[in-house]
Amino acid sequence: MADEEMTEGSEKSFKVLGILDIKNVPCARESLLYGTLGALAVGLGHFLATSRVRRSCHFGMGGFVLTTLGCWFYCRYNNAKLRIQQRMLQEAVRNKILFESTPFDPGKKTVTNSEGSRS
C-alpha cells in the first residue's frame, strides 16, 4: 500500500495557479526559480537603499515578472533553435543514408581524367 502511494506521489506534478504544470512545461521550473531570486534581490536591494517597504515590494514584484519572462523567452528561444538544428541534422543524415553510393551522393567527388570522361 505504501509503495502504491509513493508511485502515485511521484507521478503528481506541481501546478502554478492551476494552469502551469511545472513538470511538463519546458523552462517553467528554471524561469520561476530565477524569477524568485530576481525578485528577492531587487526587492531587498531597493529596501536597503531606500527603506521604503511598500515600494520595495512593488520593485520586487516587477523584478519577479521581468526576470521570469526574460528567462522564459531566452530558454524557449534556445530550445526552438536546438529543435531546428536537430531537424536539419536528421534530414542531413537521412539524405546521406538515402543517397550513399549513388551518383547523387553530395559527398562523392567526381573526378575527370585528362580524356574528359568521368570515373
- What single string gives the DSSP state of each residue in the chain? -HHHHHHHHHH---EETTTEETTTSTTHHHHHHHHHHHHHHHHHHHHHHH--HHHHHHHHHHHHHHHHHHHHHHHHHHHHHHHHHHHHHHHHHHHHHHHTTSTT-TTPPP-B-TTS-B-
Statement: residue 1 has pLDDT above 50: no
pLDDT tens per residue across span 49-98: 999 999 999 999 999 999 999 999 999 999 999 999 999 999 988 888 88
Instruction: Provide the percentage of residues in the chain whose pLDDT is more than 70.
Output: 71
